[in-house]
């Protein structure tokens, strides 16, 4: 019975050390959406930039 106590303590300690490492970081908010089009033969580049005030969902 006493032989399992150190093994259990090692498992608990390993879990406390590995959980923060394996946890995924939080998703950062979208700062802008950038869309680029290029017409190579006419050397034209069109860039659309949407800032944070855009809505991702259609409001009724």
Residue ranges of the domains in the chain? 28-54
Residue 30 sits at the vertex; the CA angle it makes with 24 and 36, to the nearest 5 degrees, is 120
Average pLDDT over residues 4-20: 83
Query: What does the pLDDT read at residue 38?
Result: 93
CB 35 within 8 A of CB 48: yes
Cβ neighbours of residue 37 under 8 Å, at least 6 residues apart? 45, 46, 47
Q: Over range 13-29, report the average pLDDT.
A: 82
**pTM for the whole thing?**
0.37
Stretch 22-44: mean pLDDT: 85
Give the contacts of 51 (CB within 8 A, at least 6 positions apart).
32
Tokens of 29: 């908010």
pLDDT at 60 over 80: no
């Amino acid at each position: 019975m006493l032989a399992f106590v150190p093994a259990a303590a090692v498992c608990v300690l390993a879990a406390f050390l590995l959980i923060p490492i394996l946890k995924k970081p939080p998703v950062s908010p979208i700062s802008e959406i950038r869309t680029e089009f290029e017409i190579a033969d006419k050397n034209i580049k069109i860039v659309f930039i949407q800032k944070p005030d855009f809505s991702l969902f259609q409001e009724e």
